[in-house]
Structure 1
Amino acid sequence: MVQNESESWTSDDTIRILIASDIHLGYLENDAERGEDSFIAFEEVLSLAVQYDVDLVLLGGDLFDQAKPSPSCMFKCTQIIRKYCFGDKPVSVELLSDQLQNFSRVVNYEDPNLNISYPILSIHGNHDDPVGQGSISSLDILSMTGLVNYFGKWSDYTHVRVSPVLLQKGETKLSLYGLSHLKDQRLSRLFGEKKVEMDLLEDNNDWFNILVLHQNRADRGHGNYIPENVLPKFLDLVIWGHEHDSQVFAMKDIKRENEGFCVIQPGSTVATSLAAGEALPKHCALLQLHKNDFIVTPLPLKTVRPFIFKTIVLSEENLGGKTVKESERVQEFLKEKVEAAIEEANKLRSGNPKQPRLPLVRLSVFYEHDSQDFNRIRFGQNFNGIVANPNDILIMKREKKIRERKENEKCEEVDMRGAAVEATDVETLLRAYYSALPAERRLAVLSVRSITEAVRDYTLKRDDGVFRRVLEGHRRHCVESLLDSTAETVEEVHERLRICKEVLDATEEAQLKGLIEQAATKRAVTVDESEESEGEVVVERVSEGRGRGRARGRSPRGARGRARGRARAPSPERRTPRRQAAVKSNEWLQKLSAERVSRRRHDSSEIELSD
């Protein structure tokens, strides 16, 4: 058992908190081998809360792996929480702040209809953030059912003001600030603009101040992480979620003399990627508070699947004698490395009967030339039933000097395998891919940020209509831009679209998303049909290498048949440049669409409208 290590610390004045983060319930839930890993680890976390008789459980976000958990996932989550957190043991911590302001409902252990012994307090992360109509999170559902106390949810993303949850036990007073996940670029900008405020209590010296947040902590480029130096100095402790590598160390802080705060990074309880950080031992933490002093005790998780990660550089290895095919010798060498990793994983077994049997093994292999490469899937079949991830044991990538040499070649293809290893998430991978493309192959109309956000919303929030909205929003935004211009030729249209994309790329993230969503909901811009109501408009175009041809549009308003000649204009007045640009731009965009391209495979160089 963990001791207080101080005779003056009485249980009546000590708040005991079990800290965990990034549970990711439902990760790979359909996988026959790994589908139960997240639930087994979550059950161990709550069992530790009971074992150490804590006053509350504090989660740092990403309780669920998906914004819309499956019914099976929600059922298992509910089952585990009810098993360990419900009971007749009274909760000794008193809530002093406004419950409706903190949780939007009465805290569950003060609800007369519920018997809660171990209350859970949680913010949301980037995987379980609010989504859909009404911005409802999966944590909102757990909150309304009384299973979880959900705090730190925001509706105003232009100015964040954090009010603390005030808890007291005896002479120990805790002010708990919750900052649920915001996009790092947005939150970084808000910190820079001094638009993140944390309410400071008048008698702040009597309170122990904790902030729990879910953001990038590691430096991933300007604006893509939250530096510790932007956080308020009055904080005593920061619980940092989102980062999956566990950095929980035993620490004791009595009568603090410096102004800096300490950081607890619990890490994830389940490996959601086969990266080096995930191979570190998994922990949760026991935090004991007594007035302004605290003790942190790491609690290793014993039901986590063993995971071994190794990096191998073939040029630094002695591969021995030559064979007919060098790839065969490389495969034999790597098989030995995998077998050694399996033996190492078996030594990490805790003996807990609930710990999964098969280990995870990942070898990151750097090779010099193509003769050393081979089929990874076929290689993995040698370890079916021996490791939990036979299909992705290996990640093969060229050594850096080879990749740098290829980057200088004019006809280089993007090395996605190397980018995939270095990327921390799908958005980072896509940004790396698009930035590595040569200029002539880069996106000409779509914003890369909008595309990456759409992929994120589709994968995490199961938003099936996000791609349609983004594409439609871009199309209509470009149409409006072209209508506001006097572009006549194809070159002018291309230039106008280039300027339009530069404007989108320079727009702030929140404004960009709102702009695209607003454009997607507008009625499509079309040419006034009344001007062509008497006949059919015939569009002439010149195609490179094909001579001069004619393309007839659809007969307006039920007109039948096809006009053989030019349509007679309903009025003798000359079309204005704006009207001409509108019709030309509309026809030009139609040719860009998949439907028009599938019917006419022409590379148009000029668009002319016949009056």
Structure 2
Amino acid sequence: MVQNDDDSWSSDDTMRVLIASDIHLGYLENDAVRGEDSFIAFEEVLSFAVQYDVDLVLLGGDLFDHAKPSPSCMFKCTQAIRKYCFGDKPINVELLSDQLENFSRTVNYEDPNLNISYPILSIHGNHDDPVGQGSVSSLDILSISGLVNYFGKWTDYTQVRISPVLLQKGETKLSLYGLSHLKDQRLARLFAEKKVTFELVEDGNDWFNILVLHQNRADRGPNNYISENVLPNFLDLVVWGHEHDSQVFATKDVKRENESFFVIQPGSTVATSLAAGEALPKHCVLLQLHKKEYIVTPLPLKTVRPFIFKTIVLSEENLGDEGVNENEKVQNFLKDKVYEAIKEAEEIRSGDPKQPTLPLIRLSVFYEHDGQDFNRVRFGQNFNGLIANPNDVLIMKREKKIRDRKERATGDSEDVDIGSAAAEATDVESLLRAYYEAQPQDRRLAVLSVRAVTEAVRDFTLKRDEDIFRRVLDAHKKHCVDFLLESNAETAEEVNERMRLCKESLDAADAERLNTIITAAAKKAEVETKKGAKKGESIVVSSDEEAPPTVTRSRGRGARGGSGRGRGRGRVQPAASPPTPSPPAERRTPRRAAAEKSATKLQTIIASRSLRTRRESSDIEISD
């Protein structure tokens, strides 16, 4: 048991909170080697709750790796929570705030139909946020079943008003504020516009104030992270989810007047990317509160798979003279580095029997020229059965040269190094933006908005929204066709100019405005498609010199044909009577006809550009 080192702290007045974040249940669950890693770490976190006899467990988002977890993942999650968190142990923490406002239901440990020993309180992250019909998330399912107390969920994205969960144990009072994940750009704008408010508690000096949120903390570009400076100063402690590198330090303190709050960044419990930050030791945190004083104790996780990350710059290594067999020299040198990393991983093993055996090894290698590059997958086959990730043990990057950067800055170089342009990307969205920006002007997207494409990739990856690309493409196409039909464009040059203006208007729109445009266009396209299918008619459009277009309607069973038979046997088919003249079809003016031709041309351009982009993007290696 972690001691508080203070005899004046009565156990009846001390609240113990176990804090963890970014569990990512279900990450690589179909992988034969790494499939159980996330579940093993989650069980260890919950076992700490029992070991330290905590009053509650606080999760900082991303309990699941996907917004729609598999049945197997939900089963294992439910099984672990029932195993460790259900029981007859009395709960000594009283909930004073409105439960329906905080959790949209009764808190589970006050439900007479449930026996809860260690209640879990959780916000959602970007991986398990609400999606689909009714905006129901995996946490909603756990909440309605009484397994988790889900708070901090938002439906109004124009403003955020955070009401605290008020908990009391003896003389210790905790006001817990939850801010589930929002897009960083939107939340940053809401903070700038003073539209994020925190409801303060009366006699607030008696309360210990904690905020748990799930956002970018590191600076990833303008408005793409949340600065600590925008958070209110009345907070005593901030639990920061989403960042996977564990930054927790043992401390015992009490916040003094005009001091800033202390930040706990638990980090993830499983490595979801082979990056340097993920190789840091993994932790969860034990927080002990006594009135306004607190103790933070890091708890190292012992069942996490060992992970060694190394950066190697070949130009700084003594590989001998360039020339014959240089490729072989580089491979042999890197093989030795991998074996050294395997030995290092063996030395840092915890000895826990549940800890996975095979380590994760990642070498980030910077090479000078093509003669030092080689097939990475074939190289990794040398370590089958020795490491957990033989297929991606290496990531190879061309070493940046000062003259190359100067040439790109002065425009002397005609060839754009896409890999170098995207090397600094911190996530897939940043990589895509860097890729499109690095393209020559004549090969950039002419219709699609880059922001919409990157957001579609994110929704497809995190939310498994398999229809997102079709919806985005159809919405762009519909918006641009309407844009053309409203214009006087007739020639190819005028059409291209209108397309350019349309693209500029999409790029200039902020994220919320762009989403509104795309959503409206998608709905309009869907309505028109349904109307056309319902009418069952097709319009043949002709040029102005030809006869007016005709409308052909599909008929049901029994429609008469030219040689159809009547029902009566031996009955002669009467001669066909002259058809009743139909009202003349709408006359296509030159402007209308040109616009419709432009719409057809636009669809052809979109298809060809999409195909070319797919071919070109296959040359880029995207890593987490």
TM-score, length-scaled by structure 1: 0.89
- Matches of residues 527-542 of structure 1 in structure 2 within 5 Å? 537-538=542-543
Residue in structure 1 matched with residue 45 of structure 2 by the alignment = 45
Unaligned runs of 5+ in 1: 541-549, 561-569, 599-611
Residue in structure 2 matched with residue 445 of structure 1 by the alignment = 447
Letter in 1 for 2:288: Q
Query: Residue 431 of structure 2: which of 421, 429, 432 is its match?
Result: 429
Residue in structure 1 matched with residue 377 of structure 2 by the alignment = 377
Query: Residue 597 of structure 2: which of 581, 584, 608 is its match?
Result: 584
Deviations along 1:483-515, one digit per CA (max 9) or x if unpaired, are: 221112111111111111111112121221122
Residue in structure 1 matched with residue 558 of structure 2 by the alignment = none
**1:590–1:596 Cα contact (<8 Å) kept:** no
Unaligned runs of 5+ in 2: 555-560, 562-582, 612-624
Residue in structure 1 matched with residue 506 of structure 2 by the alignment = 504
Give the match's secondary structure for 1:225.
coil
Deviates more, 1:315-324 or 1:126-135: 315-324
The 1-side partners of 2:275 and 2:128 are apart by 22
How many residues are paired up?
A: 577
User: How much has 1:572 moved relative to structure 2?
Assistant: 12
User: How much has 1:571 moved relative to structure 2?
Assistant: 7.5
Give the match's secondary structure for 1:329.
helix
The 2-side partners of 1:433 and 1:308 are apart by 29
Alpha-carbon distance change, 376 to 596 in structure 1, aligned in 2, over 3 angstroms = closer
Alpha-carbon distance change, 577 to 486 in structure 1, aligned in 2, over 3 angstroms = farther
The 1-side partners of 2:509 and 2:539 are apart by 43
The 2-side partners of 1:497 and 1:534 are apart by 26
Give the match's secondary structure for 1:35.
coil
Identity of aligned residues (%): 75
The 2-side partners of 1:198 and 1:67 are apart by 28
The 2-side partners of 1:522 and 1:584 are apart by 21
Q: Provide the aligned C-alpha RMSD in A.
A: 2.8
Deviates more, 1:574-583 or 1:252-261: 574-583
Letter in 2 for 1:209: N
Letter in 2 for 1:355: Q
Deviations along 1:535-556, one digit per CA (max 9) or x if unpaired, are: 761489xxxxxxxxx9x99974
Residue in structure 2 matched with residue 224 of structure 1 by the alignment = 224
User: How much has 1:254 moved relative to structure 2?
Assistant: 2.6
The 1-side partners of 2:541 and 2:90 are apart by 80
**1:41–1:269 Cα contact (<8 Å) kept:** yes
Query: Residue 415 of structure 1: which of 415, 418, 421 is its match?
Result: 418
User: How much has 1:404 moved relative to structure 2?
Assistant: 2.7
Deviations along 1:383-429, one digit per CA (max 9) or x if unpaired, are: 1100100011111111111753674564425433x566533322121
Letter in 1 for 2:300: P
Give the match's secondary structure for 2:401.
helix
- Please state if 1:358 is matched with 2:361: no
**2:67–2:129 Cα contact (<8 Å) kept:** yes
Residue in structure 1 matched with residue 518 of structure 2 by the alignment = 516
Alpha-carbon distance change, 523 to 279 in structure 1, aligned in 2, over 3 angstroms = closer
- Matches of residues 78-477 of structure 1 in structure 2 within 5 Å? 78-254=78-254, 256-320=256-320, 324-401=324-401, 404=405, 407=408, 410-416=413-419, 418=420, 422-477=424-479
The 1-side partners of 2:99 and 2:150 are apart by 11
Residue in structure 2 matched with residue 75 of structure 1 by the alignment = 75
Give the match's secondary structure for 1:92.
coil
The 2-side partners of 1:554 and 1:577 are apart by 14
Alpha-carbon distance change, 9 to 299 in structure 1, aligned in 2, over 3 angstroms = same
Deviations along 1:24-67, one digit per CA (max 9) or x if unpaired, are: 00000000000000000000000011100000000000000000
User: How much has 1:363 moved relative to structure 2?
Assistant: 0.6
Residue in structure 2 matched with residue 11 of structure 1 by the alignment = 11
- Please state if 1:557 is matched with 2:552: yes
**2:184–2:215 Cα contact (<8 Å) kept:** yes
Letter in 1 for 2:598: S
Letter in 1 for 2:514: L
User: How much has 1:523 moved relative to structure 2?
Assistant: 4.1
The 2-side partners of 1:168 and 1:337 are apart by 54
The 2-side partners of 1:352 and 1:386 are apart by 19
Give the match's secondary structure for 1:422.
coil
Residue in structure 2 matched with residue 492 of structure 1 by the alignment = 494
Give the match's secondary structure for 1:178.
strand
The 1-side partners of 2:585 and 2:304 are apart by 80
Residue in structure 2 matched with residue 547 of structure 1 by the alignment = none
